[in-house]
């Protein structure tokens, strides 16, 4: 196993100029030690944004990036999420004027929740079970550059609550070496991430990486237990939803025996169009199969 320590942080995915912290090969298992999205600096409820501003000039520190030998543009990097082990605490913050309920937030407000050994938190008497997920996960894009606040078709800050233990995410490799990284792990988050935070926590994440040569989709594709999904990010929810719908159709069409018309009907029956997040610089939608539809391989 290759361990990538918490000191290896980066703040943007770019087609050119990324510097890898280490190298891995097809089939390797990697262990990422991640900081929370506040750089692990929001440790007490009396800490205010201004207190940590200088020490954490950017948010969403992301662990990596890892150079994957043999991954080239046009290939796919398959990332199997083997495990997510939560840190000791989860942090949340409201900032006036920010997020999907911005008009209702009148003052800065911070909560710190100790995470129990049983994988729950006590939210003011309400016992909530964690469903750990990875907020930022991706590779170098096929063109341009995106900070780690911004999701796009390379992945990044997609905040898809389905990216948890047991799934595999297929990323279109955009640059030689892929430059894979992840961070911004949440203990729990609702679809939409309406106040711009989940239960923000440091974590240890184990993944297995595989290179699938010579083919790729236009955006990240997700799979768990035979259920497939496409994730698409765009300026508006409408554009993101359209992108996700067509991406899943285009992915499945050559892989199932159904005529295209029948597949479209089936997607209307068991395809769920869901919001991942509405609070990042671009918005993310996923289109997911509710159940397996037979043997489908990437
Ligand atoms: Ca995020
Ligand atoms: Ca976050």
What pLDDT sits at residue 2? Answer: 97
Q: What is the pLDDT of residues 242-291, one digit of tens each?
A: 999 999 999 999 999 999 999 999 999 999 999 999 999 999 999 999 99
Distance 164 CA to ligand 2 centre (A): 14
Mean residue pLDDT of the chain comes to: 96
The ligand minimizing its distance to the Cα of 276 is: 1
Distance 63 CA to ligand 2 centre (A): 14
Select from 63, 248, 73 the least CA-distant residue to 173.
73
Percent of the chain with pLDDT over 90: 95
Distance 113 CA to ligand 1 centre (A): 18
Cα 6 off chain centre by: 18
The residues placing their C-beta within 5 Å of ligand 2, an ion, are 37, 135, 184
Distance 9 CA to ligand 1 centre (A): 15
Distance 259 CA to ligand 1 centre (A): 38
Distance 253 CA to ligand 2 centre (A): 34
What pLDDT sits at residue 49? Answer: 78
Ranges of residues in the chain with a pLDDT under 50 are none
The ligand minimizing its distance to the Cα of 280 is: 1
What pLDDT sits at residue 55? Answer: 64
């Amino acid at each position: 196993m290759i361990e990538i320590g918490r000191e290896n942080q980066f703040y943007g995915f770019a087609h050119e100029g990324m510097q890898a912290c280490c190298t891995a090969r097809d089939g390797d298992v990697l262990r990422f030690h991640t900081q929370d999205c506040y750089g692990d600096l929001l440790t007490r409820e009396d800490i205010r944004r201004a207190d940590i501003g200088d020490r954490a000039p950017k948010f969403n520190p992301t662990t990596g990036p890892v150079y994957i030998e043999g991954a080239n543009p046009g290939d796919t990097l398959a990332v199997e999420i083997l495990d997510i082990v939560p840190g000791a605490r989860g942090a949340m913050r409201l900032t006036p004027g920010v997020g999907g309920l911005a008009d209702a937030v009148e003052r800065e407000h911070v909560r710190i929740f100790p995470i129990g050994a049983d994988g729950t938190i006590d939210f003011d008497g309400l016992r909530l079970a964690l469903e750990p997920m990875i907020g930022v996960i991706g590779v170098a894009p096929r063109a341009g550059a995106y900070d780690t606040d911004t999701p796009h078709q390379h992945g990044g800050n997609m905040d898809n609550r389905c990216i948890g233990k047991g799934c595999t995410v297929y990323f279109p490799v955009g640059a030689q070496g892929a430059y894979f990284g992840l961070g911004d792990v949440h203990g729990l988050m609702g679809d939409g991430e309406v106040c711009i935070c989940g239960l923000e926590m440091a974590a240890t994440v184990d993944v297995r990486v595989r290179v699938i040569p010579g083919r790729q989709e236009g955006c990240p594709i997700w799979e768990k237990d035979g259920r497939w999904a496409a994730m698409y990010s765009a300026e508006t929810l409408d554009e993101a939803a359209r992108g996700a719908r067509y991406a899943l159709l285009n992915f499945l069409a050559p892989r199932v025996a159904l005529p295209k018309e029948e597949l479209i009907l089936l997607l209307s029956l068991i395809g769920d169009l869901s919001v991942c997040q509405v609070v990042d610089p671009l918005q993310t939608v996923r289109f997911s199969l509710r159940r397996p539809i037979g043997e489908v391989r990437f």
